[in-house]
Amino acid sequence: MARESESGLPIEPVYGPGALAGWDPAERLGEPGGYPYTRGVYPTMYTTRPWTMRQYAGYGSAAESNARYRQLIEHGTTGLSVAFDLPTQMGHDSDAPLARGEVGRVGVAIDSIEDMRVLFDSIPLDRVSTSMTINAPAAPLLLLYQLVAEEQGVAAAALTGTVQNDVLKEYIARGTYIFPPAPSLRLTADLFRYCREVMPRWNTISVSGYHMAEAGASPAQEIAFTLADAVEYVRTAVASGMAVDEFAPRLSFFFVARTTLLEEVAKFRAARRIWARTMREEFGARDPRSLMLRFHTQTAGVQLTAQQPQVNLVRVTVQALAAVLGGTQSLHTNAFDEALALPTENSARLALRTQQVLAHETDVTATVDPFAGSYAVESLTDALEEAAVALMRRVDELGGAVAAIEQGFQKAEIERNAYRIARQTESGERVVVGVNRFRGPEDERYQPLRVDPETEARQVRRLAELRARRDGPAVDRALAAVREAAGSAPGTANLLPPMKEALAARATVGEVCGALREVWGTHVPDDAR
């Protein structure tokens, strides 16, 4: 029986040279580190150094998360990735009515510079690369990080890491937006400009397909809609007066790695090729770094199962291998228990050990691009490229990523694919071990991590003490300056300097976001009006 890929593309039982008729290897592949970067963005890839092992972590209070970060570093993590709680992601302080019951639950609560100071206590920010999964309030969280680094004596120009800062995918798949699309894009462009001048080594955005995949996007949809969002960001930055090669080298991406290893490898190869061509042909980029699609990968949380959770160890290993064979620059491996709760210290350490085994006990780092020339993978790469480009073309026909979002195009396409996958799983056509086949009595005894219920009360008390100690009039003046800058025309006043002044005066993240809400309002989706 013929099989299909996750994108619904046919997988042939046998591939041979005939499958690649008219295929010019020199044009389609190039060399590693050379245009069109199908074979990887660096000439040597992992033969000289492995990918960055960046574990995503954060829960409860800043002190609890700091202890977890220090444990991960002790066990060999080479990069941190901060998970923020839902109130922080939505720009609300921990004492806001909407924050009740959510403080510290799915990430760490960060309300002010005092929390950020505790979060990175005794962590040398000049030697650790930090990624922050934060979108709508990306600017204030990045500025808090800069302020804490400066307190450590680390210059902003020395800081390395990434801020996700990808609000468009929030409207498509995830929902943690604050402001309407137009001012959100303005804030993104201001952050680009600020980092170019102040934090030149910082990756200013991580355009994310991961969350679209978690919502049900196929691999073809994942790369198409991610790259279409990236095109929108580039157009916005260019329209604000920036030259493409001034900011494009600091763009990065974030993708998922599923268990369908061959298609995932092909997906990463196709994405690099599409991006290189887009940047060169549409935007006239000349700096080779502007053409390179550099990306972080996380193994597929949506494929983890609560049933027989230890089987997730096998899934994560296969997914991580797909990311490595696909040429990722950094990788997070999910813990086996994340379908049940936040990972424990032991399960997080085991997830890191999975990467270390791949890097040091296998031969996947011995050669660049091991799958190059594979009939199956090269054919899948071409098919995925064609499918993704067709979807990107459709987004452009609708007026670009924002216009397509407003018309519900990406969301509807993803939901249609998610329904297809759900039907296949329910019918048993798609096998999920331990869920619809190979079920049996559970013999595992597992105690998930529990967030201390007192975390929220302690965080609220910290906020009250902060507000009592700080210079209230100075905070009010600083927030007024933020509102004034927000009311100016895009491209005239950069919002980040007044935001930094407010945060340094110990204004909270919620207060800074609240000042912007007063000027810009909040985004309300059509189906909620």
What pLDDT, on a 0 to 100 scale, did the predictor assign at position 341?
85
Residue 444 has pLDDT above 60, yes or no: no
Q: Which of 265, 272, 195, 289 is nearest to 227 (CA)?
A: 272
Q: Look at residue 77 in the predicted model and tell me its pLDDT.
A: 86
Q: How many domains would you assign to the chain?
A: 2
Q: What is the pLDDT of residue 442?
A: 61
Separation of alpha carbons 295 and 18, rounded Å = 32
Task: Establish if 247 belongs to a structural domain.
Answer: yes
- Quickly state the pLDDT bin for 497 (edges 50, 70, 90): very high
Residue 435 lies in a domain: no
Q: Name the pLDDT band for 15 (thresholds 50, 70, 90).
A: low
Q: Tokens 């995932």 sit at which residue?
A: 264
Sign of CA dihedral 60, 64, 66, 72: negative
Residue in this structure with the two tokens 């006043």, named with its chain if needed: 493
With cut-offs at 50, 70 and 90, classify the pLDDT of residue 527.
Answer: low
- Angle between helices 219-239 and 181-198 in degrees, nearest 10: 70
- Lowest-confidence range among 42-51, 242-251, 297-306, 341-350? 341-350
Burial of 428 (0-12, 13-18, 19+ CB in 10 A): exposed
**Percent of the chain whose pLDDT exceeds 70:** 95
Residue 159 domain-assigned (yes or no): no
**What's the pLDDT score for residue 445?**
62
Provide φ and ψ at 274, rounded to 5°: -65, -45
Q: What is the pLDDT of residue 524?
A: 82
Amino acid 253: pLDDT? 97
263-311 pLDDT, tens per residue? 999 999 999 999 999 999 999 999 999 999 999 999 999 999 999 999 9
* Cα 324–Cα 393–Cα 18 angle in degrees, nearest 5: 60
Looking at residues 15-43, what average pLDDT do you find?
A: 77
CA separation for the pair 268, 465 (Å, rounded): 48
Q: What's the pLDDT score for residue 117?
A: 98
Question: What average pLDDT does this structure show over 424-445?
Answer: 85
Same structural domain, 477 and 372: no
pLDDT at 16: 62
Residue 162 has pLDDT above 60, yes or no: yes
Residues 277, 356 within the same domain: yes
Please, which residues bridge with residue 207 across strands? 253
377 and 281, same structural domain? yes
Tell me if residue 242 falls in helix, strand or coil.
coil
Residues 364 and 222 in one domain: yes
Does residue 253 contact residue 209 with C-beta atoms inside 8 Å? yes
Q: For residue 437, which amino acid is it?
A: R
User: What's the rounded Cα separation, in Å, for the pair 288 and 207?
Assistant: 19
The CA-atom distances, in angstroms, between 80 and each of 115, 169, 426, 465, 485 are 17, 23, 38, 29, 32
3-state helix, strand, coil in the chain (%, to 5): 50, 10, 40
Over residues 354-359, the mean pLDDT reads 97
Name which residue leads in pLDDT, 21 or 450: 450
State phi, psi for 348 to the nearest 5 degrees: -65, -40
Same-domain pairing of 289 and 388: yes
| Tokens linked to 245 | 């090669």
Q: 179 and 231: one domain?
A: yes
**257, amino acid identity:** A
- The string of pLDDT tens digits covering residues 76-121 is 888 899 999 999 999 999 999 999 999 999 899 999 999 999 999 9
Mean per-residue pLDDT of the chain: 93
- The phi and psi torsions of 25 (rounded to 5 degrees) equal -55, -40
Cβ(85)–Cβ(387) under 8 Å? no
State the pLDDT confidence band at 359, using cuts at 50, 70 and 90: very high
Q: Is the pTM of this model over 0.75?
A: yes
Q: Which of 158, 124, 130, 113 is nearest to 54 (CA)?
A: 130
At 21 the pLDDT is 60
Q: Which tokens is 307 given?
A: 């049933």
- Which strand (E) or helix (H) includes residue 255? strand 251-257
Q: Are residues 318 and 381 in the same domain?
A: yes
* Residue range 515-526: mean pLDDT, rounded: 91
d(CA 88, CA 150): 22
Please indicate, yes or no, if residue 22 is contained in any of the structural domains: no
Average pLDDT over residues 249-256: 96
Taking Cα atoms as reference points, which of 289, 290, 199, 276 lies closest to residue 237? 290
What's residue 6's pLDDT?
Answer: 84
pLDDT in tens, 385-415: 999 999 999 999 999 999 999 999 999 999 9
Same domain for 355 and 256: yes
In percent, how much of the chain has pLDDT > 90? Answer: 84
Of 411, 427, 443, which residue sits at a domain end? 427
**Is the pLDDT confidence value at 450 over 90?**
no
Supply the pLDDT for residue 310. 93
CA torsion 329-136-408-237 (nearest 10°) is -70
Q: Residues 193-209: pLDDT tens digits?
A: 999 999 999 999 999 99
| CB-facing half-sphere around the CA of 322: CA atoms within 13 A | 27
Going by pLDDT thresholds of 50, 70 and 90, the confidence category of residue 145 is: very high
In terms of phi and psi (left: phi > 0; alpha: psi -120 to 50; beta: otherwise), the region of 346 is alpha
298 within domain boundaries: yes
Regarding whether 465 and 415 lie in a shared domain, the answer is: no
Kindly state whether residues 408 and 518 are assigned to the same domain: no
The answer for residues whose C-beta is within 8 angstroms of residue 250's C-beta and 6 or more apart is 192, 195, 196, 200, 202, 203, 204, 205
Report which secondary-structure segment, H or E, holds 295. Answer: strand 295-299
Q: What is the pLDDT of residue 254?
A: 96
| Per-residue pLDDT, 19 | 57
420 and 354 assigned to the same domain: yes
Q: What is the CATH number of the domain that holds 309?
A: 3.20.20.240
Contact between 505 and 475 under an 8 Å Cβ cutoff? The reply is: yes
Q: Which domain holds residue 462?
A: 455-522
Contacts of 24 by beta carbon, 8 Å cutoff, 6+ apart:
none
Rounded Cα distance, 5 and 388, in Å: 14
- Both structure tokens of 303: 């494929």
Are both 336 and 271 inside the same structural domain? yes
